[in-house]
Amino acid sequence: MDSYVRIFDTTLRDGEQMPGVNLNTEEKVQIARQLDKLGVDVIEAGFPIASQGDFEAVCAVSRSVERAGVCALARMTQKDIDRAWEAIRHARKPRLHVLGAASDLHLTYKLHITREQALEMTQKWVAYAASLCPDVEFSPEDATRSDREYLLRVFNTAIDAGATTINIPDTVGYTAPSEFESLVRYIAQNIHNREKVTISVHCHDDLGLAVANSLSGVMGGARQVECTVNGFGERTGNAALEEIVMAVKMRGECFGGVRTGIDTTAIARASALTAQLCGVKLQPNKAIVGENAFRHQSGIHQHAMLQNPLTYQILRPEDVGFRESALVLGKLSGKHAFAERLRELGYIVSEEKLAEYFTQFKALADKKKEVTDSDLEAIVRQKSTMPEVFELEYFHVISGNTLLSTATVRLRRDDQVLEEAACGDGPVAATFLAIERATGMALKLRRYSIHALTGGEDSLGEAVVRMEGARGLVMGSGVSTDVVEASARAYLSAINRYLYTFAQEDQA
């Protein structure tokens, strides 16, 4: 059996189903390009029938990705499949992903059809998808709670109709590793045209077993794993790409000597970019990419690490892309050195963007003794790709433990200058209220957090807010060495995102 395991990344589709996450087209393209650099084999870009915005995002990803295949999801209807094909038809390697069902629970209560009707629909719509696209994947939802013999009939029907990949989804994270391996092996040994069909697995983390089940699926014969960066996804999330890839790299012999095509040194960058654009702070002890993954506090551990890092660390930080710059950048550094460092970090930007980033870099360098790689990546990542309706020109805060905090803000909207002041319970609250008055946007703050992006007393801080208006929930983020400024920029980012997102929907 082939030892190569394809990595099918569904961050832009299943990952975006994470509550509170709402990526716009430009942000999806940013993540897709990073996934392409990472070396994923297939990028599932979205569900085009869901909205005009999602359709446009899938189209944009299809045009932007240079190497990976681009996939779009569709239910078993002509309208869904036509829309998905329209979105990906110009991709370098397009794939249609047709979604069905196999468990009696889903057939009865969700689709209201019989087993035989489900087989007829599978044959009809997989064949239709195959008439449009040579690469068709078929997924019957809730496969792990389906009758095994009936599930095999469903898969064989799909294969006979033209499916080139069959996916075994553990839709609700129900299965255990040993039984999932057994199920995958049973399907692998009994499907039609085994040598021409790729078996895929798609596992959710409701019981914390998504990665273990995915790797068990590989041992059972799967040669594609569907996963997301940082394990993002609905409910408890999906199998984490970085954990699967590093498990295969470090312990591939345990899973049948398999390998992937992932450039592991690009993992940290993909993780950070995705987390930032989704507005999600990773837990510190997250495997592979958490901030504590390569930190050691115990004295016994520290002593042993000084003798030999292998005593308590099976991975090196550089294996997954964590590193600090050997080229120290500061306030005396020039544009050439700055541009060169961005290139080394993997960021290819236009002259216009370079000038914008360099201006921010110089402003930061005036505040910090040394600007690190993490600082540079924060500068690049925190710039919004959407039009800024409101821009922050100035803010001033008076605060103390014995007086009421007061904030003044000056914003710009096109040629109009907006200035307001407000009092609040703390400098951040006062600033938010002043911005609300200046913009006239009364969104409800649902969540607020701030954390350090870089190390040291003069580190950059990132503020993240989630805000809700009548049209929906949005996220905003802002970066600065000043927590109040970072908070103000995050609040404005959310307002701008709200106006941009729902203006797009109105136009659709």
DSSP state for residue 238 in the 8-state scheme: B
Q: What is the pLDDT of residue 300?
A: 77
Q: What is the pLDDT along the chain (508 residues), one digit of tens a residue?
A: 689 999 999 999 999 999 888 899 999 999 999 999 999 999 999 999 999 999 999 999 999 999 999 999 999 999 999 999 999 999 999 999 999 999 999 999 999 999 999 999 999 999 999 999 999 999 999 999 999 999 999 999 999 999 999 999 999 999 999 999 999 999 999 999 999 999 999 999 999 999 999 999 999 999 999 999 999 999 999 999 999 999 999 999 999 999 999 999 999 999 999 998 888 889 889 999 998 888 776 667 766 767 887 888 888 889 998 865 445 577 777 887 788 777 766 676 778 888 888 888 888 888 766 677 767 777 776 655 567 889 999 999 999 888 899 999 999 998 899 999 999 999 999 999 999 999 999 889 988 988 776 666 667 788 888 888 888 888 888 888 889 999 999 899 889 888 887 766 555 5
Q: What is the pLDDT of residue 326?
A: 46
310 φψ region: left (φ > 0), alpha (ψ -120 to 50), beta (else) = alpha
Those residues whose C-beta lies under 8 Å from the C-beta of residue 440, and which sit 6 or more positions away, are: none
Helix (H, G, I), strand (E, B) or coil at 444: strand
Distance CA 341, CA 347 (A): 9
Helix ranges (H only) for 282-394 are 299-307, 335-344, 351-365, 373-382
Other C-beta atoms within 10 Å of 399: how many? Answer: 16
Q: What is the pLDDT of residue 346?
A: 63
Cα angle: 1, vertex 226, 86; to 5 degrees? 110
Q: 495 with 476: CB under 8 angstroms?
A: yes
Other C-beta atoms within 10 Å of 406: how many? Answer: 17
Output Rg (C-alpha) for the chain, integer angstroms.
Answer: 25
Distance CA 72, CA 133 (A): 11
Residue 83 tokens read as 């829309």
Residue 472 tokens read as 């929906």
DSSP state for residue 245 in the 8-state scheme: H
Q: What is the pLDDT of residue 475?
A: 80
Q: What is the pLDDT of residue 382?
A: 62
Q: 223 with 199: CB under 8 angstroms?
A: yes
User: How confident is the model over 107-125, as pLDDT tens digits?
Assistant: 999 999 999 999 999 999 9
Distance CA 434, CA 430 (A): 6
In the chain, the largest separation of any two C-alpha atoms, in whole Å, equals 77
Q: What is the pLDDT of residue 385?
A: 58
Chain CA centroid to CA 53, Å: 17
- The helix (H) or strand (E) run that includes residue 112 is none
